[in-house]
């Protein structure tokens, strides 16, 4: 597919003798389509050329010529606005689509590179709540998009299966285990034990000390504590997998914090050898005050390890095992300082520089209840399974009312309901906090996942009505030059650059918003143009554009983790 930015940059480079890539990075897309397809801000060259932007624009325009790719160039307030030839744009897009089909928008930019994506990472013995949902769908989407762009990806679920909280669980089970039947609703039962023991810890410091001692015993391999811990973990994974199955998500590794328990001493020894580990009030720390990052605790005063120790051990193991180019940690922004500390300390580890430089925290906003922050200690959480089932039930109710004879009602309701929940979590910039509200989370109207699915189903309906798919050589691209058709063409052209933007910013919301734009542009095209037409040339062109749109909507939604229904 033609790279029109590069074509423009090359033309300007021949005149200015400046670097093509630098010029290409300056090129923008105007906020208004009437101002052209691309815009070059001449003020970027003012310092280099020692001229006013308006003069630079006029001089450049006088030496630039239109051709088969660029049909018009205009000056607006020091900007050079370029209008791409519609025939050239249409041919470039549809030829690329015809060639790539199911892989349209993909490329080999990630060829030979490995990206690890750590996401979801719930705590065992606790409910999988909506706070875990964001990391899960963001991480899954990033993994899918990196993979689509040629990267070797590895999906890591760094389970929270270690720490003082398990000393609490063990203590609670010692006290009240005979009151619970863990064969029925195990997570709810374990959560109840956890809430009870936390209340007791608040009242009695001795109970908290016992909990801490339980975790120390767990680290030392005490048979009773290990047996209980394994039981909690197995029950939890069985429940978590029900949620992952609903979301269609799989992992390549379920190695949690405990996996690194026998690998932490090496990290401590390395830090000692480097002379960065110091004692402070009985604990072992790395002082990062000179980096304005405070103190990173490696070992507590009672000899227990910390999250940081385990994360460092994980980095060492992953670098040796995968020799990664990037390792993404999809974790809420509350852990910003933690990861800055860990990444700084990791510079002391004997791993390749590319691994050290490839550590990235994909920070996202928190999900809060209208009544405040969720807390498993207080028992105030919204469980993901309940949310997903409620979404499915609401859709199924509508289907039964409006189309009771629809085939596979339950399956279609599942795709639409879960699609709504996933899109709701990915529709805005991920760094923003969200206040959870049932009606918002399950909104099926407006700029939502179900709207994208609805437009996709409409494209399928058009193809079914046509009864055939024209061959590419039967498509007359001159017919697709009206504004409505060109809006769809331009959206299709931008698909690959949107995916590249997602991996550059590690934010799937760029793709979410793109799919809404493509769906809206197709809806406008559908309303403006008669697709099933007596004129076979007109019908062929419009049916083929419908086919391409439906395919890209399905590809894009699939990358987000949203399945497309057959009927709506």
Query: In order of start, what are the domains of the chain with their CATH numbers?
Result: 4-84 (3.30.1360.70), 114-263+305-369 (3.40.50.620), 384-560 (1.10.730.10)
Q: What is the pLDDT of residue 372?
A: 58
Check pLDDT > 90 for residue 436.
Answer: no
State the CB neighbour count (10 A cutoff) for residue 11.
22
Check pLDDT > 80 for residue 81.
Answer: yes
CA distances to 100, 178, 337, 385 from 292, rounded to whole Å, are: 49, 50, 10, 41
CA atoms within 13 A on the CB side of 515: 33
Query: Residue 375 — pLDDT band, cuts 50, 70, 90?
Result: low
Three-class secondary structure assignment of 226-272: HHHHHHHHHHHHHHHHHHHHHHCCCCCECCCHHHHCCCHHHHHHHHH
Q: Is the dihedral of CA 240, 560, 411, 439 positive or negative?
A: positive
What does the block give as tokens for 55? 């003069």
Q: What is the pLDDT of residue 343?
A: 98
pLDDT (tens digit, 9 = 90+) per residue, 25-46?
Answer: 999 999 888 899 999 999 999 9
pLDDT (tens digit, 9 = 90+) per residue, 46-74?
Answer: 999 999 999 999 999 999 999 999 999 99
- State mean pLDDT over 288-304: 92
Contact 342, 312 (CB under 8 A): yes
Check pLDDT > 80 for residue 80.
Answer: yes
86: left (phi over 0), alpha (psi -120 to 50) or beta: alpha
Check pLDDT > 80 for residue 487.
Answer: yes
Straight-line distance from the first to the last Cα atom of the chain, in angstroms, rounded to the nearest whole number: 34
- State mean pLDDT over 246-261: 94
- In eight-state DSSP terms, residue 566 is S
State the CB neighbour count (10 A cutoff) for residue 90.
26
Query: Residue 568 — pLDDT band, cuts 50, 70, 90?
Result: confident
Q: Which of 324, 193, 350 is nearest to 267 (CA)?
A: 350
CA 396/CA 457 separation, integer angstroms: 17
Q: What is the pLDDT of residue 565?
A: 96
Q: What DSSP letter does each residue of 332-353 carry, written as one string? A: EGGGHHHHHHHHHHGGGSSS-H
Q: What is the pLDDT of residue 235?
A: 92
Q: Which of 230, 238, 240, 259 is nearest to 120 (CA)?
A: 240
Q: What is the mean pLDDT of the chain?
A: 93
Check pLDDT > 60 for residue 361.
Answer: yes
Q: What is the pLDDT of residue 373?
A: 57
- State mean pLDDT over 172-185: 91
Q: Report the percent of the chain where pLDDT is more than 70.
A: 97
pLDDT (tens digit, 9 = 90+) per residue, 191-244?
Answer: 899 989 999 999 999 999 999 899 889 888 899 999 999 999 999 999 999 999
- State mean pLDDT over 260-271: 94
Q: What is the pLDDT of residue 371?
A: 60
Low-confidence winner among 214-218, 320-324, 471-475 (lowest mean pLDDT)? 214-218
Q: What is the pLDDT of residue 21?
A: 95
Query: Residue 440 — pLDDT band, cuts 50, 70, 90?
Result: confident
pTM greater than 0.75 (yes/no): yes
pLDDT (tens digit, 9 = 90+) per residue, 533-556?
Answer: 999 999 999 999 999 999 999 999
Check pLDDT > 80 for residue 92.
Answer: yes
- State mean pLDDT over 71-78: 94
Q: What is the pLDDT of residue 387?
A: 86
Q: Quick check: helix, strand or coil at residue 408?
A: coil
pLDDT (tens digit, 9 = 90+) per residue, 103-147?
Answer: 999 999 999 999 999 999 999 888 888 889 999 999 999 999 999
Contact 108, 152 (CB under 8 A): no
**Residues pairing with 364 in the sheet:** 332
């Amino acid at each position: 597919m033609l790279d029109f930015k590069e074509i423009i940059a090359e033309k300007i480079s021949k005149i200015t003798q400046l670097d093509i890539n630098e010029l290409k990075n300056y090129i923008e897309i105007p906020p208004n389509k009437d101002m052209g397809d691309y815009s070059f801000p001449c003020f970027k060259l003012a310092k280099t050329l020692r001229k006013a932007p308006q003069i630079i624009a006029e001089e450049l325009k006088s030496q630039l010529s239109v051709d088969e790719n660029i049909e018009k160039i205009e000056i607006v307030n020091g900007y050079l606005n370029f209008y791409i030839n519609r025939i050239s744009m249409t041919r470039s897009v549809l030829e690329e689509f015809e060639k790539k089909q199911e892989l349209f928008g993909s490329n080999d930019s990630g060829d030979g590179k490995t990206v690890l994506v750590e996401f979801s990472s719930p705590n065992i013995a606790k409910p999988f709540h909506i706070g875990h949902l964001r990391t899960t769908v963001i991480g899954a989407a990033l993994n899918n998009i990196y993979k689509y762009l040629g990267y070797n990806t590895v999906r890591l679920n760094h389970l929270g299966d270690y720490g003082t909280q398990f000393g609490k669980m063990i203590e609670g089970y010692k006290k009240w285990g005979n009151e619970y039947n863990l064969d029925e609703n195990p997570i709810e039962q374990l959560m109840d034990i956890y809430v009870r023991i936390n209340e007791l810890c608040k009242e009695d410091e001795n109970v908290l000390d016992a909990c801490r001692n339980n975790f120390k015993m767990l680290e030392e391999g005490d048979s009773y504590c290990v047996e209980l811990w394994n039981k909690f973990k197995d029950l939890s994974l069985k429940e978590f997998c029900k949620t992952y199955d609903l979301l269609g998500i799989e992992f390549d590794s379920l190695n949690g914090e405990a996996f690194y328990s026998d690998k932490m001493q090496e990290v401590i020894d390395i830090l000692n050898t480097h002379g960065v580990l110091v004692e402070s009030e009985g604990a072992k720390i790395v002082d990062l005050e000179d980096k304005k990052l405070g103190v990173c605790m490696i070992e507590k005063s009672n000899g227990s390890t910390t999250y940081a120790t385990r994360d460092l051990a994980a980095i060492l193991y992953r670098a040796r095992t995968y020799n990664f180019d990037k390792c993404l940690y999809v974790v809420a922004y509350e852990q910003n300082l933690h990861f800055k500390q860990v990444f700084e300390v990791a510079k002391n580890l004997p791993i390749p520089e590319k691994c050290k430089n490839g550590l990235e925290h994909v920070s996202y906003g928190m999900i809060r209840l209208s009544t405040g922050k969720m807390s498993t200690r207080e028992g105030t959480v919204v469980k993901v399974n309940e949310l997903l089932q409620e979404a499915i039930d609401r859709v199924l109710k509508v289907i039964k009312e409006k189309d009771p004879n629809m085939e596979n009602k339950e399956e279609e309701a599942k795709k639409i309901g879960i699609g709504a929940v996933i899109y709701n979590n990915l529709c805005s910039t991920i760094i923003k906090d969200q206040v959870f509200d049932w009606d918002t989370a399950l909104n099926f109207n407006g700029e939502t996942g179900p709207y994208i699915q609805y437009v996709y189903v409409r494209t399928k309906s058009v193809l079914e009505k046509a009864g055939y798919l024209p061959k590419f050589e039967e498509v007359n691209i001159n017919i697709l030059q009206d504004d409505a058709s060109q809006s769809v063409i331009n959206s299709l052209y931008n698909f690959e650059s949107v995916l590249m933007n997602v991996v550059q910013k590690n934010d799937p919301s760029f793709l979410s918003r793109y799919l809404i734009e493509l769906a809206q542009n197709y809806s406008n095209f559908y309303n403006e143009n008669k697709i099933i037409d007596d004129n076979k040339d007109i019908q062929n062109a419009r049916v083929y554009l419908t086919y391409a749109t439906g395919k890209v909507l399905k590809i894009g939604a699939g990358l987000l983790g949203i399945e497309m229904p057959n009927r709506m």
